[in-house]
Amino acid sequence: MTVTIRPRTRVSPSAPPLPASGAREPAGRHTVHVGRLALEAGGVLPDVRIAYETWGSLDADGTNAVLVEHALTGDSHVVGPAGPGQPTPGWWEGIIGPGRPLDTDRFFIVASNVLGGCSGTTGPGSVGPDGRSWGGRFPFLTIRDQVGAEAALARSLGVTRWAGVVGGSMGGMRALEWAVSHPEMVARAIVLASTGYATAEQIAWCQPQLLAIRQDPNFRGGDYYGHDGPDSGLALARRIAHVTYRSEVELADRFGREAQRGEQPLGGGGRYAVESYLDHHGRKLASRFDANSYLVLTEAMNSHDVGRGRGGLRRALRRFDGELTVAAVDSDRLYPARLSREIVEAGDRGTYRLITSPHGHDGFLIETAQVGAVVREALTG
């Protein structure tokens, strides 16, 4: 199957100042300008800025570094408390540190905010070359573009070869793309709860999320900075996505058909408990994330196909001769286990692991003991 990627060509006559989401830079976060980046679907980002955090020390030959790739609404703050400019604590607590699976006594750990995001790296909320926020003019990105930016970061840090690249979900897409795009720079790739290509169902789940944001009256073609933004649309998109992140069994066990406390859903205009749960997650994301970045990153995920232009998945994976570990979550309905097995089978090599969890896709974030064991095994192999 041939996939054609078309860049967005939305143009706006003006854009108010940079939003807070595009400007925040917490203590402990570093930034570097890596210059011009030509994009796969056409166009150029003239001056890419990357925000990142590190733990541990890089060795003299630059080969003990491990890159941690975050998921869709994550960022470079993998571990650590919330603080000024950092609204949430680390999203993978217990993974990084002395003696941890990502052992800072052995490895130099790097986590960068993804290109197109909203936590310090160049994205739609960043100021463009004309002094205005990119907004709706921000170009279409692919996963390969994001990896290209990360390769520039690696060079700027003096990393000559990653001891490992590890990520889950969208981060797993980038980990796999790293192995195929830059095989000489990756000793080990660890892909968690992800896929070699975006499936029809995954793209289908994304469509109503994209429409929810773009059809919000406050979207303004993406040029809402300085105005009320499309918070309702973003919150609705998150509700849709969150259902796919958890399992049917978990939702049934946690909520069943219970009413939200003090509310009456049967004719009283109230909510079921599961509806309140989704409302909470929708509001929470809308309070901290840029809707434009949600669009850009979601469309980048839809573009994901490591076999595109490379003769298919099997031929693409043959480029990589390092160690490949792929782990699935048994209850994941967004990235089902068959897609993880397919990566290993297509490459005729690698290690497959299955994480047992009732939590669905988010199990790769929640089951830290099991995931940590997979990561530790992969990095000591």
Q: In tens digits, what is the pLDDT along the chain, a chain of 381 residues? A: 333 333 332 222 223 333 333 334 444 689 999 999 999 999 999 999 999 999 999 999 999 999 999 999 999 999 999 887 777 899 999 999 999 999 999 999 999 999 999 999 999 999 999 999 999 999 999 999 999 999 999 999 999 999 999 999 999 999 999 999 999 999 999 999 999 999 999 999 999 999 999 999 999 999 999 999 999 999 999 999 999 999 999 999 999 999 999 999 998 889 999 999 999 999 999 999 999 999 999 999 999 999 999 999 999 999 999 999 999 999 999 999 999 999 999 988 899 999 999 999 999 999 999 999 999 999 996
Asked whether residue 179 falls in the same domain as residue 116, the answer is: yes
Residue 75's domain comprises 20-199+307-380
Residue 78 in any domain: the answer is yes
Of 292, 324, 349, the domain-final residue: 292
* Nearest Cα to Cα of residue 161 among 108, 111, 96: 108
Q: Are 210 and 220 in contact (CB under 8 A)?
A: no
Residue 15 in any domain: the answer is no
Asked whether residue 82 falls in the same domain as residue 230, the answer is: no
| pTM recorded for the entire structure | 0.92
Asked whether residue 132 falls in the same domain as residue 258, the answer is: no
Q: Are 54 and 108 in contact (CB under 8 A)?
A: yes
Of 238, 262, 292, the domain-final residue: 292
Number of domains in the chain: 2
Q: Show which residues are catalytic.
A: 169, 332, 361
Residue 118 in any domain: the answer is yes
Asked whether residue 211 falls in the same domain as residue 81, the answer is: no
pLDDT of residue 378: 98
Residue 11 in any domain: the answer is no
Asked whether residue 50 falls in the same domain as residue 87, the answer is: yes
Asked whether residue 94 falls in the same domain as residue 238, the answer is: no
Residue 101 in any domain: the answer is yes
Asked whether residue 285 falls in the same domain as residue 353, the answer is: no
CATH number at residue 107: 3.40.50.1820
In order, the DSSP letters of 132-199 are SB-GGGPPP--HHHHHHHHHHHHHHHT-SSEEEEEEETHHHHHHHHHHHH-GGGBSEEEEES--SB--
Residue indicated by tokens 């789940």: 205
* Nearest Cα to Cα of residue 317 among 208, 183, 205, 168: 183
Asked whether residue 373 falls in the same domain as residue 340, the answer is: yes
Residue 271 in any domain: the answer is yes
Asked whether residue 102 falls in the same domain as residue 192, the answer is: yes
Query: What length is written for the chain?
Result: 381
- Measured from the Cβ of residue 88, the count of other Cβ atoms closer than 10 Å reads 14
> How far is it, in rounded angstroms, from Cα 125 to Cα 145?
18
Q: Are 89 and 20 in contact (CB under 8 A)?
A: no
CATH number at residue 234: 1.10.1740.110
Residue 14 in any domain: the answer is no
Residue 5 in any domain: the answer is no
Q: Which two tokens stand for residue 190?
A: 């660890």
Q: Which two tokens stand for residue 43?
A: 């166009």
Asked whether residue 283 falls in the same domain as residue 358, the answer is: no
Helix (H) or strand (E) holding 37: strand 30-38
Asked whether residue 281 falls in the same domain as residue 233, the answer is: yes
Of 230, 261, 292, the domain-final residue: 292
Asked whether residue 40 falls in the same domain as residue 150, the answer is: yes
> How far is it, in rounded angstroms, from Cα 242 to Cα 115?
23
